[in-house]
Amino acid sequence: MDHARLGRTGLKVSRLCLGTMNFGPLTTEPESFAIMDRALELGIDFFDTADVYGWRTGEGVTEQIVGRWLAQGGGRRERVVLATKVYGKMGDEPNDRGLSARHIRHACDESLRRLRTDRIDLYQMHHVDRDAPWDEVWQAMEQLVTAGKVLYVGSSNFAGWHIAQANAAAAHRHFLGLVSEQSLYNLTARTIELEVLPACRAHGVGVIPWSPLAGGLLGGVLGEADKGRRSSERIRKRVEERRAQLEAWEGFCRELGEKPADVALAWLLDSPAVTAPIIGPRTIAQLEGSLRALEIALSPDHRAALDRIWPGPGGEAPEAYAW
């Protein structure tokens, strides 16, 4: 398994990040344990979760599953770079969400309790909080870092100017600031190429794409093997809206001799700004299949063909829409 530095830090993480959002709602606890064990065996040591995953308000179902897995010992915690998130609604009180200093401190302690660990390697703000001043946010994060409860801070779903603003405020406080940004990014969703990717490159922020297969749309939905995935009404609607592109896409992958899901991941891995796409396997077979993407080399001609099938926004701003 290849590793890469997370942004401008000295921390190295696997080129694929194990997403745990399915653990609990779609994947049973024993199956989740097996997937995490197998991920470590394969060299995938970067695990991502969030306090809201499990989708039962305030319970942190997925964090609890990950915590019980870590508590088995055997070097699990020492080997894993553990990432979780703060921002989402965790209760019915006014301060049970967001990025106030009060909520950040309480949410961190609760995540540590559920994860059964003394530290979070990467603590990510799940969304920008426009009501929380950066001085307040960074003071809270600094206290967690000083206490040894958090090692690095990242963001998720930030705009490019949020990243620049956040890191300028952190630099003013002589604090490391954001080291990663977790964004929606795949061949069908390339908006972040306008300003988020340039901001991340400028500030040494590693990009961690979520939904690299566009919710399954890039996983071979026209093929016979994916009838189960196509049974979703949402997917069926998206397939019909994009049928011409999907036919060209899956034809391209057949000519390349690779599975669509693997090519979609390989395209992300080929981007200099990307540290590690998040894969969210529901089974061990899906986990193991993802490793093929690490071996696929896309030529400039391949990338140009993919740009024709799945056009981006035209490059970086402002050249994408002006001179």
Asked, as a colleague might, if the bond just before 311 is cis with ω within 30 of 0, I would say: no
Exposure string over 47-77, b if 16+ CB within 10 A, otherwise e: bbbbbbbbeeeebbbbbbbbbebbeeeeebb
pLDDT of residue 113: 98
The tens digit of pLDDT for each residue in 33-53 reads 999 999 999 999 999 999 999
The tens digit of pLDDT for each residue in 97-111 reads 999 999 999 999 999
Confidence band for 223, pLDDT divided at 50, 70 and 90: confident
pLDDT of residue 16: 98
**What pTM value is reported for the model?**
0.95
User: Is the pLDDT score of 151 beyond 80?
Assistant: yes
| Range 3-217+260-301 has CATH code 3.20.20.100 | yes
Look up 185 and say whether it is catalytic: no
Confidence band for 229, pLDDT divided at 50, 70 and 90: low
Three-state secondary structure readout of 197-249: HHHHHHHCCEEEEECCCHHHCCCCCCCHHHHHHHCCHHHHHHHHHCHHHHHHH
In the chain, what percentage of residues exceed pLDDT 70? 98
The tens digit of pLDDT for each residue in 83-135 reads 999 999 999 999 999 999 999 999 999 999 999 999 999 999 999 999 999 99
Strands 12-14 vs 3-5: parallel, antiparallel or unpaired: antiparallel
Average pLDDT over all residues of the chain: 96
pLDDT of residue 236: 85
User: Is the pLDDT score of 152 beyond 90?
Assistant: yes
Spell out the domain ranges in the chain. Answer: 3-217+260-301
